[in-house]
Amino acid sequence: MVIANQNGQDEMVGLRVVRLQAIRYVVNQMDRYLLAQREYRTGCMVRIKHFIAKLCCLVGGKLYGNYLISGYMAVKLLYVANAVSQLFLLDSFLRIDYPMYGLRVVEQLIRGQDWGYGRH
């Protein structure tokens, strides 16, 4: 019994050592990442950039975490531009007797009206 208990304790000590090594590794990697994110440059333009980044969430870059927000908003604007351009392309391809058919369909859908081909 004593031998089995000592082997169990040795195994627990080994697990603790592995866990501490893993924690040290994670902490070391986080320190390296955070040090790499620092901006060491100083000057008038850097200060202006930081001031604008604090005021507006779309400008500033990685330092304030605005890079992802800016990218997300840019992609959403591209989606809207794509949707509007598809409406204009729909009008040019269908060549229906009145212009802006796609926009009228969207308008009629919003009003809850029938959006069929016929004029109302």
Residue written as tokens 């007797």? 97
User: Which of 54, 55, 58, 50 has its CA nearest to residue 74?
Assistant: 58
pLDDT the model gives residue 115: 75
Collapsed DSSP state (helix, strand, coil) of residue 43: coil
Cα–Cα distances in angstroms (integers) from residue 120 to residues 52, 59, 77, 116, 117, in the given order:
51, 47, 33, 9, 9
pLDDT < 50 positions in the chain? 1-2, 120
Residue written as tokens 């351009």? 85
Q: How many helices (H) and strands (E) does the chain have?
A: 4, 0
- The whole model's pTM is what? 0.42
What is the residue-averaged pLDDT of the chain? 76
